[in-house]
Amino acid sequence: MENTVEVDPRAAAVRRKSSAGRVLQTVRKHYFLYVLLAPALILTLIFKYVPMYGAIIAFKDFSPIKGIMGSEWVGLKHFEKFLSSPNFDVIFLNTLKLSFFGLIFSFPVPILLALMLNQVRRAGVKKNVQLFLYAPNFISAVVIVGMLFIFLSPTGPVNHLLTWITGEPLMFMSEPKYFRWIYILSDIWQGAGWASIIYVAALANVDPELHNAASLDGANLLQRIRHIDLPTIRPIMAIVFILAAGGIMSIGFEKAYLMQTSMNLPASEIIATYVYKVGLQSGDYAYSAAVGLFNSVINVVLLLTVNFIVKKLNEGEGLY
């Protein structure tokens, strides 16, 4: 109905004259749409934008009594404190290494799984394999880490096996050098199957005739995968990679915090867990908010950079 009005030249003239009035009019006419939008909009303004404003405590000496407005400005004091603290190098590098290696090792696994699943010709078998591969995705971080502690404890089954082979148990959860491996491998264990879904679906859309023709031309299986399957999923790979690389500094708090023991802190303390401890456990709100803000700014810059690079490499196909 609206469209007919839009095409009418007289209406267009009216619109040009008083666009503000027209906006008001459409709002009144379609108030129901605004009613539907309102809850999400209001909640977002309160719980997302008010905290963005609240983040200015990072530049203040925040005292709960004076409130956000009343507290005194201190400029970049908290940022300087963080950047010059002896913790900074360790925590920053821990965060970077954990997510960078996580990305490098986790990224190819779902792709490999999908390419392999795609070669399973019997649909029933494929479905059952998928059922198992996806299942760990539904296990909570608490349970995953709980299982890690049980399995990898000095008296647990893994060390049972190790002592039997090498005669010596390994202190998996207390030695810092194992932390990253355990974190990343358990991530792959839990998430790789689930992450393959999107690739599996894309591969299912490949025309079987293509494979047929290629094999008639003498292409072997590896060549067909390389020249037919891989190009099919390349755009998806780019998107998944951008999203993962952009989130590199926002690596999840939940699992890392659970895996921390007082012994493995030199490797397991990351920005997210540090913000939580300094802010909510020690009550140093302003400093902790500064660390958090520092992290989110890096994150945004990273996301934009990676998107830019992939756009260049991928013939103009980025995400934004």
Site for another protein in 148-177 (CB under 8 A): 149-151, 155, 157, 160
Site for another protein in 232-291 (CB under 8 A): 236, 246, 253-254, 258, 275-276, 279-280, 285, 288-289
The reply to whether 123 sits near another protein by the rule CB under 8 A is: no
SS (H, E, C) the chain: CHHHHHHCHHHHHHHHHCHHHHHHHHHHHCHHHHHHHHHHHHHHHHHHHHHHHHHHHHHEECCCCCHHHHCEECCCHHHHHHHHCHHHHHHHHHHHHHHHHHHHHHCHHHHHHHHHHHCCCCHHHHHHHHHHHHHHHHCCHHHHHHHHHHHHCCCCHHHHHHHHHHCCCCCCCCCHHHHHHHHHHHHHHHHHHHHHHHHHHHHHCCCHHHHHHHHHCCCCHHHHHHHHHHHHHHHHHHHHHHHHHHCHHHCCHHHHHHHCCCCCHHHHCCHHHHHHHHHHHCCCHHHHHHHHHHHHHHHHHHHHHHHHHHHHHCCCCCCC
The reply to whether 50 sits near another protein by the rule CB under 8 A is: yes
Q: Using the rule CB under 8 A, which residue among 85, 87, 282, 296 binds another protein?
A: 296
Q: Using the rule CB under 8 A, which residue among 117, 203, 242, 251 binds another protein?
A: 117
Tokens of 29: 């006419």
> Using CB under 8 A, which of the segments 72-80, 90-98, 293-301, 309-317 binds another protein?
293-301
> Using CB under 8 A, which of the segments 72-80, 82-90, 100-108, 299-307 binds another protein?
299-307
Nearer to another protein, 29 or 97 (CB): 29
Tokens of 50: 């008010």
- Count of residues that bind another protein according to CB under 8 A: 92
The reply to whether 11 sits near another protein by the rule CB under 8 A is: no
The reply to whether 204 sits near another protein by the rule CB under 8 A is: no
Site for another protein in 20-39 (CB under 8 A): 23, 26-27, 29-30, 32-34, 36-37, 39
Tokens of 48: 């997302």
The reply to whether 41 sits near another protein by the rule CB under 8 A is: yes
The reply to whether 298 sits near another protein by the rule CB under 8 A is: no
Nearer to another protein, 30 or 312 (CB): 30
Q: How far is CA 195 from CA 107, 201, 265, 306, in A?
A: 9, 11, 29, 20
* Minimum distance of another protein from residue 80's CB (angstroms): 18
Compute the distance between CA of residue 251 and CA of residue 188 in angstroms, rounded to an integer: 14
* Minimum distance of another protein from residue 91's CB (angstroms): 15
The reply to whether 131 sits near another protein by the rule CB under 8 A is: yes
* Minimum distance of another protein from residue 168's CB (angstroms): 18
The reply to whether 85 sits near another protein by the rule CB under 8 A is: no
Q: Using the rule CB under 8 A, which residue among 14, 15, 55, 96 binds another protein?
A: 55
The reply to whether 145 sits near another protein by the rule CB under 8 A is: yes
Q: Using the rule CB under 8 A, which residue among 2, 168, 217, 315 binds another protein?
A: 2
* Minimum distance of another protein from residue 28's CB (angstroms): 11
Give which of 201, 234, 244 is closest to 315, Cα–Cα. 234
Q: Using the rule CB under 8 A, which residue among 11, 93, 104, 142 binds another protein?
A: 142
